Structure 1
């Protein structure tokens, strides 16, 4: 099988970052319109439609916790300017300044460049929406070489779907489209080992277009690319002693624990790479590290001891007369995430819950066993598969759990 070269990986990573910038910019634009920060404004006897005041936006970013300070807020907006998302209303100021200057989103005045890259991105977004919302979607949990992948699809099935839905006229045209989507970082082989083939190899979308982005991710991702030379990302969840925290926007290497959880292994230091934001569920004794400096600051990582008093099997949970009660909980994630930790393998259980999180408010408790996530049975999955299922799903998560009686 043909291997993807490092140059292809680097280009895909760079394009993926550009796509994330485009999505983040569009989400910010819609939020600013909803908040009435974008409106027609008058300056020097002239009216500028659909613009915002830089100083007001800086205040908004800080008040909505998108940036910890004004300097970071300016850096975030400059990042959007550098990618052609935002510009000065007269294009006289190439730098974003924290002042009473008027800026505008290129999308609002029709100046957003509709080049080949943008067209491919839009096509990929449209296909993702059709696939994710359609009945009997081909995006399913599948296995390749002993590893399960959420929302994956065989290359041949995607081309079949494109033909059936009139997206292409022939398989050759479908193969060319899929090659283009892969080269632009929209889709990829699940293990990042192969180019696109009209075969049973599994592929997935690199981008969850529906996920709410935090602007701080843009700077962290940019810093990570510089530090790593746009190298290939490390596999997720490859630490045997890790507990995955669902209070993050994107699944990355975890380093969380709670005050109520004892430690059974020595603490060890790691350096973070490309963190989206500081996880609010870290051990309180570590102290708070501002998000602006988190990507370059070593942090303490620990290995929490299981909260279960003894091991429980799926057969025991499902046996008649078992001392467990089944509950259905609806957790609506906020801008930070959901706020609970899961661990274990067949069954997965709740390791810890942030007291002030949406999970706590919805009734998620420690020692509950997770049976279903959004209607899908997860009793035979491990914690990494369950977390991927939650993180790639909708913002509102429906959990079916079993908890001990009494």
Structure 2
């Protein structure tokens, strides 16, 4: 069960990464068509295939891709975090709404074509080939009284791969399909079984041809979290309950901010819902509860320069957190610097000495002082189970 939960979380994260890649490519092609991407000259040097961040933000707002400039910046930062775009000199990790030059990594050949990306592109190529077939195996099929669009029996996909020379043997075709399933590209229609060379029905998780709206990326990214997503329940310290809306007041009432969970497992809080700049304050979980965006625990905000100033009232600590089957048990917040917003009292983080209001300086030896919470979350999620944190703790 725990392994299945872990695989589901990894698959969800990979699906989101795939959606970001598709949305980024669709945006790149639109910007080329709109002549926003072109050769630009700056300080006696010509930079090919660039766009000006400020012009792109204007374009996103005017084309209704973002409701305001702050959200547009968040969207582009999301693409930057996923290595879709970058500053032309790679000197800036944070996108600024200014007259600075940025470029799509696909336009300058710096896109990281790692194994995961190659598998995703192979899945996209197979989807396009299958959907374009005159007698495509992707059809409306019924299983246990439920109709599934563009579904296919596993054995038919194996046959198709062999007929179209996409695989040399049934074993090789089966291995390919299982890799595609592991990376969140195909799945069993009811999400119950691994891929088998049988009559079980499967379908593509991603419709590669669907036009993506960039605003979707922010809500989809909420599946990638430091705290586990498997236990969203009413015992979570960040759950709100619906109440009858009253004039002049919020329609939601906050529960206790933080409490000990006694049900044997921890509630979870999505770190992406803890950042207020351009993000919705809560996300719907079910008909009776939502996750809220609690008030910052900081007494006041700090800049990186203040933290590093000589004589600053902070003490550095190195903490080793060994994650358990429910993840690590803490939440980070902030653009730069990041800080600990909440710690589950019974978690590995609490046992290691992680406390609220600590600022994160390093994660596994990598400096994160100037990174936002999304980058820090990704470092933790994609790293080893044991993480070494260097933090700065206020002297009180």
Q: Note if 1:296 corresponds to 2:295.
A: no
Q: Note if 1:12 corresponds to 2:11.
A: yes
> 1:67 and 1:229, CA in 2 relative to 1: closer, same or farther beyond 3 A?
farther
> 1:92 and 1:228, CA in 2 relative to 1: closer, same or farther beyond 3 A?
closer
- Aligned-partner Cα distance in 2 for 1:117–1:96: 25
- Aligned-partner Cα distance in 2 for 1:43–1:95: 20
Q: After superposition, what is the alpha-carbon deviation per residue over 1:347-385, rounded to whole angstroms, capped at 9, x for unaligned?
A: xxxxxxxxxxxxxxxxxxxxxxxxxxxxxxxxxxxxxxx
Residue 68 of structure 2 is matched in structure 1 by 69
Q: After superposition, what is the alpha-carbon deviation per residue over 1:1-37, rounded to whole angstroms, capped at 9, x for unaligned?
A: x998111111100000000000000000000001100
Q: After superposition, what is the alpha-carbon deviation per residue over 1:218-271, rounded to whole angstroms, capped at 9, x for unaligned?
A: 1111135449844499xxxxxxxxxxxxxxxxxxxxxxxxxxxxxxxxxx99xx
CA contact (8 A) 1:14 1:230 kept: no
Residue 157 of structure 1 is matched in structure 2 by 156
Alignment of 1:134-149 (within 5 A): 134-149=133-148
- Matched residue pairs, number? 250
Q: Note if 1:86 corresponds to 2:85.
A: yes
Q: After superposition, what is the alpha-carbon deviation per residue over 1:36-65, rounded to whole angstroms, capped at 9, x for unaligned?
A: 000000000000000000000000010011
> 1:178 and 1:3, CA in 2 relative to 1: closer, same or farther beyond 3 A?
farther
CA contact (8 A) 1:84 1:106 kept: yes
Specify every segment of 5 or more residues in structure 2 that has no aligned partner in the other structure, as ranges: 233-250, 253-269, 271-277, 289-396
Give 1:66 shift.
0.8
Secondary structure at 1:125 match in 2: helix
Residue 48 of structure 2 is matched in structure 1 by 49
CA contact (8 A) 1:156 1:197 kept: yes
Q: 173-182 or 140-149, which moves further after superposition?
A: 140-149
Give 1:89 shift.
0.2
Give 1:104 shift.
0.1
TM-score, length basis structure 1: 0.57
Q: After superposition, what is the alpha-carbon deviation per residue over 1:106-165, rounded to whole angstroms, capped at 9, x for unaligned?
A: 000000011101110110000000100101110011122222111100100000000111
RMSD between aligned residues: 3.0
Secondary structure at 1:207 match in 2: coil
CA contact (8 A) 2:148 2:189 kept: yes
CA contact (8 A) 2:54 2:97 kept: yes
Q: Note if 1:199 corresponds to 2:198.
A: yes
Secondary structure at 1:161 match in 2: helix
- Aligned-partner Cα distance in 2 for 1:162–1:128: 12
> 1:292 and 1:66, CA in 2 relative to 1: closer, same or farther beyond 3 A?
farther
CA contact (8 A) 2:12 2:223 kept: no
> 1:228 and 1:148, CA in 2 relative to 1: closer, same or farther beyond 3 A?
farther
> 1:58 and 1:299, CA in 2 relative to 1: closer, same or farther beyond 3 A?
farther
- Aligned-partner Cα distance in 2 for 1:28–1:100: 19
CA contact (8 A) 1:155 1:200 kept: yes
- Aligned-partner Cα distance in 1 for 2:15–2:145: 27
CA contact (8 A) 2:39 2:48 kept: yes
CA contact (8 A) 2:87 2:102 kept: yes
Give 1:298 shift.
9.9
> 1:151 and 1:228, CA in 2 relative to 1: closer, same or farther beyond 3 A?
farther
- Aligned-partner Cα distance in 1 for 2:75–2:102: 14
Give 1:295 shift.
5.2
Residue 352 of structure 1 is matched in structure 2 by none
CA contact (8 A) 1:52 1:104 kept: yes
Secondary structure at 1:5 match in 2: helix
CA contact (8 A) 1:76 1:218 kept: yes
- Aligned-partner Cα distance in 2 for 1:20–1:27: 11
TM-score, length basis structure 2: 0.59
Residue 348 of structure 1 is matched in structure 2 by none
CA contact (8 A) 1:9 1:231 kept: no
Q: Note if 1:96 corresponds to 2:95.
A: yes
Alignment of 1:172-321 (within 5 A): 172-226=171-225, 229-231=228-230, 292-293=279-280, 296=283
- Aligned-partner Cα distance in 2 for 1:155–1:26: 30
- Aligned-partner Cα distance in 2 for 1:168–1:158: 11
> 1:229 and 1:104, CA in 2 relative to 1: closer, same or farther beyond 3 A?
same
Q: After superposition, what is the alpha-carbon deviation per residue over 1:63-107, rounded to whole angstroms, capped at 9, x for unaligned?
A: 011111111111111110110000000001111000000000000
- Aligned-partner Cα distance in 1 for 2:221–2:175: 30
